[in-house]
């Protein structure tokens, strides 16, 4: 296998992750819960470690079940601690999130098409349909919470569904890319998009495009310079954010 062929699975994995995470990142920025993925990742890790303690085999179906159960608990906590739009001006929900320790950057360079990428893509396709069907509710609650409150929606219930689906996305992503890369995929493209627009369609397009560009640049430089893939991808996300910020400043000067 040539070096170029070795980079194909990581590239496909990055594109799958970007497609889902960069969109969810728009909700994360709008809801002001920047570290939610880190918290849910830690809940998933807690579930996985609990499974190991009772001698459940790692990477088995039962191990994933334990991780998802713990993530569901975390999703419930996020839902019940949500503050109203008026209260959020005084006490943001992120104040309830504890500090998260740094974790590894994952092993995306060694990811395989079968079963990892196939399972990831299939799961994200189902979750993508779920978010598309419920997009009106989720987008309204994220971007116009006052409207959701006015209409009398059961916001905590919808929050639970959102965070539960979000937790599944994170649970599947972290073993592939690691928490640091997942955080970059989730937050940086969304921040870049919000620098230039507030239109939802344009936000989505810019987020997807910037995530794909940063991932591709990281993989290409890693291949050419023979440098660690994960950290370099994270660096490219940081570099692209700086470039986008500078471009925004110049455009309004």
Q: What is the pLDDT of residues 139-183, one digit of tens each?
A: 999 999 899 999 999 998 999 999 889 888 988 888 788 778 888
Alpha-carbon distance of 63 to 49, in angstroms, equals 9
What is the torsional sign of CA 126, 127, 132, 133? Answer: positive
What pLDDT is recorded for position 179?
A: 77
Q: What is the pLDDT of residues 74-115, one digit of tens each?
A: 788 777 766 555 544 444 444 334 533 334 445 677 788 888
Identify which of 53, 82, 55, 70 has the alpha carbon closest to the alpha carbon of residue 171: 70
Q: What is the pLDDT of residues 18-59, one digit of tens each?
A: 999 999 989 988 887 776 766 777 777 778 777 877 777 766
Q: For the chain, give the mean pLDDT.
A: 82
What pLDDT is recorded for position 195?
A: 92
Token pair in block for residue 199: 């239109």
**3-state SS assignment for residue 106:** coil
Q: Which residues contact 70 (CB under 8 A, 6 or more apart)?
A: 43, 44, 46, 47, 48, 50
What pLDDT is recorded for position 37?
A: 66
Identify which of 20, 31, 34 has the alpha carbon closest to the alpha carbon of residue 131: 20
What pLDDT is recorded for position 90?
A: 43
Can you tell me the mean pLDDT for 183-191? Answer: 91
Alpha-carbon distance of 7 to 73, in angstroms, equals 36
Is 217 within 8 Å of 17 (Cβ atoms)? no
Can you tell me the mean pLDDT for 224-247? Answer: 90
Using pLDDT thresholds of 50, 70 and 90, give the confidence band for residue 217.
very high
């Amino acid at each position: 296998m040539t070096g170029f062929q070795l980079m194909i699975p990581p590239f496909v994995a990055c594109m799958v992750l970007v497609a889902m995470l960069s969109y969810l990142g728009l909700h994360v920025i709008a809801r002001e819960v920047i570290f939610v993925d880190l918290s849910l990742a830690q809940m998933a890790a807690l579930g996985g470690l609990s499974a190991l303690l009772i001698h459940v085999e790692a990477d088995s179906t039962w191990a994933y079940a334990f991780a998802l159960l713990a993530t569901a608990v975390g999703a419930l906590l996020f839902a019940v601690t949500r503050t109203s739009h008026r209260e959020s001006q005084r006490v943001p929900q992120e104040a309830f999130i504890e500090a998260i320790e740094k974790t590894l950057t994952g092993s995306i360079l060694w990811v395989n098409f079968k079963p990892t990428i196939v399972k990831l893509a299939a799961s994200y396709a189902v979750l993508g349909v779920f978010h598309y069907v419920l997009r009106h509710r989720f987008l309204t609650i994220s971007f116009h919470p006052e409207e959701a409150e006015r209409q009398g929606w059961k916001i905590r219930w919808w929050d639970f569904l959102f965070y539960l689906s979000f937790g599944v996305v994170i649970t599947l992503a972290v073993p592939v890319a690691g928490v640091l890369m997942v955080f970059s995929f989730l937050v940086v493209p969304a921040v870049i998009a919000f620098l230039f627009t507030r239109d939802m369609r344009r936000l989505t397009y810019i987020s997807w495009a910037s995530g794909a560009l940063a991932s591709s640049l990281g993989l290409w430089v890693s291949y050419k310079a023979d440098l660690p893939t994960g950290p370099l991808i994270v660096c490219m996300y940081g570099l692209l954010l700086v470039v986008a910020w500078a471009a925004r400043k110049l455009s309004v000067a």
